[in-house]
Chain A
Amino acid sequence: MASPLLSRVSISNATAGNTISFSSSVSNGLLWRRSAAFPDKSRRKVSTVQAKIREIFMPALSSTMTEGKIVSWIKSEGDVLSKGESVVVVESDKADMDVETFYDGILAAIVVGDGEVAPVGAPIGLLAETEEEIAEAKAKASKSGSSAPPPPPPPAPAAASASPAAPAVAPAKSAASAPVPDGPKKIVATPFAKKLAKQHKVDIGSVVGTGPFGRITPADVEAAAGISPSKSTGVNEVSPVAAAPAPVAAAAPKAAASPAPPPIPGSTVVPFTTMQAAVSKNMVESLSVPTFRVGYPVLTDKLDALYEKVKPKGVTMTALLAKAAAMALAQHPVVNASCKDGKSFTYNSSINIAVAVAINGGLITPVLQDADKLDLYLLSQKWKELVEKARAKQLQAHEYNSGTFTLSNLGMFGVDRFDAILPPGQGAIMAVGASKPTVVTDKDGFFSVKSKMLVNVTADHRIIYGADLAAFLQTFAKIVENPESLTL
């Protein structure tokens, strides 16, 4: 324990245990000696604030303690304290401990009363040196009491919904008699959701519940707090790592992105945003999946021609590629599958194409759901909406984490080919390079210049094998090279 306090609880023979257990049957004396060897008294930190009025702070009783609850004041206001006397019992996250005074004096005022909670370091009481100073201390206490950092919570912290939902509790009184009132909707949050909300300081009243009966689930709170949902829900806000440098370089020029071990003098450290942290976490997680890559050249002259035709109708290249991929996936369901437990294939019932988008120093993958079923125009319309929502950070969880296959396109930067990292929870990801005029030879030996695009698919080899991927790519290439079917 780093704090200067020794608790009574920790007298639990931390070191003596082993020796005692056998030597005690030999020597009883040793036992008494042992308990005597442990100091019964603990020290408490009281710092000088003014000349003679000292504040008693909430001590840090363990390394993980952030706040403490006053179990009871052993002394009451006006009691004369002498050094080493127990003054107050504090409940930490681990145990109840007696806190003792380090100074002689008079307990002038109790700032935080029995049963109340104060953060570590907050004043909980005032110690005056002489009786004359008691009044002064009291005045100070009432002042600091009103401006104390966190107002003490209501006396029954155990009861009812989490703290900020107070207004919702009041109407609950009348609501209790009627089963489900239609009036002001009662906030229903699961126990863990409430805990998370408290932990991440999320106002539970502002969270939209998506659970059964509209209740707030832990995932909802996590979404509201901007943290990636816990493992069970499958994390998908990932994108190929190759796409990341571009937005980072563009959007964060001031961030000296040099991760070299000995920091170069003058470099700045910028902590990850939540989104960046999620990306980082998912990238590390992806290392546990055995992946392999297969590349394929695709001729795009006809696709380009089609694009020119449908462009005025609002169709984007992304929509075209997503549609083509979805149609190919429909014929190769294994590439749309995922391996959740390392033991089985999970064949997804719908084909949801996630498309990586660089966005303000981060990455997000809005999902085109049922991309095989929607027609090209609807798909383009949907994509436009998703991108707008993503920019406004208004994507709902299912709109970015329900992908079954990811598409990442860096062709617009002139990248000819690249390698994508497979996001955890999906079977495959396609990296699309730029389409470039290339000299090609046909089977009769004639040269011609055609637009050629290299696509490279990274897949989970636990479920998708080389031949599967090659066959899928062949289908994909056929669709792109004969794109009429895309408009059907």
Chain B
Amino acid sequence: MSVPIVIFSIDDTRGTLLQKVLQHNGLQSKLIKRNFELGTVLSKRVPSIVVFDTKDYYSRDFAYLRNICSTYPLATVIALAEDSNVPVLIEIGVRDDLCVREPFNPDLTLAKVKELVFIKNKAHLKVKTYLALIYHLIVGEKDNPYIVFIKKVLTVIALLLSSVVGIAGGFTIWSLSDLPKIQQLEDYSPLETSSVYSTDGKQLGEFFYVHRKTIPYYKIPPHVKDSFLAVEDARFYEHKGIDFYRIGGAFLENIRSKGYSQGASTITQQLAKMLFLKPEKNLSRKIKEAVLSLQIESRYTKDEILGIYLNQAFFGARSYGVEAAAQTYFGKKTEDLSVADAALLAALPKAPSFYSPFKNPSGCLTRRNLVLKMMLNRGYINDDKYKAALAEPLPTEMERPAYKSSYFLDYLKNHLEKQIGEKLFTSGLKIQSTMDSAMQDAAEKAIKKGIETLTRNGDKNLQAALLAVDIKTGGVRAMVGGIDYSTSVFNRVTQAMRQPGSAFKPFVYLAAFKEGYTPNDVIMDREVTYFSKEGGVPWTPQNYTHRFYGNVTLRTAISSSLNGATIYLANKIGMNKVIDAARSTGITSPIYPHLPAAIGVSELTLSELVYAYATLASGTAKRPIFYTTIKDKNDVTIETDGLGEVKVIDDGIVTFVKDVLRSVVEHGTAKAAQSIGRPVYGKTGTTDNYTDAWFVGFDDHLAVGVWVGKDDNKPLKEDSSGSAVALPIWIDFMKSVVNK
């Protein structure tokens, strides 16, 4: 007779899947989805197995499950549950080892069912079982119910033994039956902070959940080690993991305070404690910790043990390990810590937040000085050093490295988090970014100066953004997403959708060149009224200067930014061609398929525009590149990024585009840029009412765009054209990166 198995799951797929998995292993089960069906399957007098899937179960107190447990005492419940629901389930009477935690794990559930079937069928009483057992022991299958069973038998034997070797001996053996593996210490890969570097080798920033850095033992100066030994374990180098001498003292202490709280623990024991995930304070746990300590001592040298300990200890403020703590509290490397600093750190692990110098300076000071005193008493420091250290003040403010390129780091973080997930914050990666910190400095300075000038001239609430990218690689070399990251994290390079105005015009000319026009061809600049086919309002575009120029070449039309001629041209070749041309350079935002889009009424981001110009400059497709390589903490490259060479604009056409964008600088709206002293190309952009001012352009290496405007879309001051407002910032930046 086999044991009835019932699966209860509201989620159809999960239920069916479990049923199939059981079936596949020769176990028939019944799947039910509604409460009342259960009574039709279970019986009060027959043992049964219920797999209860709590996913999507509507009531969090599981009254129904309670009911099953009390109505069918012979039913054994396996519960599939979120970790957070397990306590309730245990309280109801589900065995802890029969709670299968999420994520959904059909194989583990199967193993539990098999084990129960094995026991309920009384298979352990059959000869067949033992033959199978021997077979499986030889073949060595994991998760095998027979093996699980044998382990239980061993536990029972241990208990029986206790009657032979005395209670203590049996208890010890039983305690050891589930020791954590000591190897964990070696493969222990704690959460580590990832770092981002600039192309010129500077650290730009860090990504972490908890701040943790490991440092090799030999890099920790003696006075730092000594300070910890002084407070935690003065006889560290003498004992063998457990300090019986101290236990005696602690024992008396415990009798006085009635509990196990007094630390008789050596550093080795504290390390052993870290191997258990859940803290517990009972005798069996103490024994396990002690046994582990002995094992640790026999496996590692004293120096190694101290090194591991210092890298693992928790110092408060999300900081793990002495290196991270040194950074958090002092902004220093471990090597540079003073005696007083070291004493403060040694004071922390006992109660990190209570002794925090920021939260409780006086308590912290007292305890630090106590540590110094202990160091003096034990002869780690002499009197002079002691006095000097006492005089040192406490740190007053958390060291927060102020990163300049915050907008860039933000963007990189979001991008990488999507790509590699939480590893970004936990794996100690080294990210080689494309950013050049000198260029970033130049960009931030240029924006600052530009905005100061404009503010001085009476404009208010200004925002600005700058993006510089490498034309060849697509790498972001500098990014300023706004005038102050600390007051607004909104990135105006990648997030702000703005009208480009005339800065869009190059795509009209690109389309024209693709259609066979040349820069010297003549088009009409005159007053024309356009009637839309859909019956919209007739439209008569005006030039910025409010006059028309008659027959002009394409070159003049763009260098003087003539709206009349540009729209005439766009109308002639068709907006669909213009849109196709813009798309071919990588513009992805929606473009209004009518003539006004030719002079830039469709919103897009500065990033799109700069990358499109980089495509114009090179003829090859571009997309944003933020990093070149990512290495793991062992310096193995795990990711690389880069562009292929995909031609999207023919060389001849690239020459035409550069010709006309050069004439903007030589004869047109950007003459001021001649002061840069090397050939540059670009286009100004100014929108109606002066809400947006742009200059986007390039030299032989960099494509750079500058935008100035206001977040609320209010206009800038009168006459704030792209050439008056954005161009000076652009020029300033280009001049300062001359050597790149």
Whether chains A and B associate is no
Partner-A contacts on B (CB < 8 A):
none
Partner-B contacts on A (CB < 8 A):
none
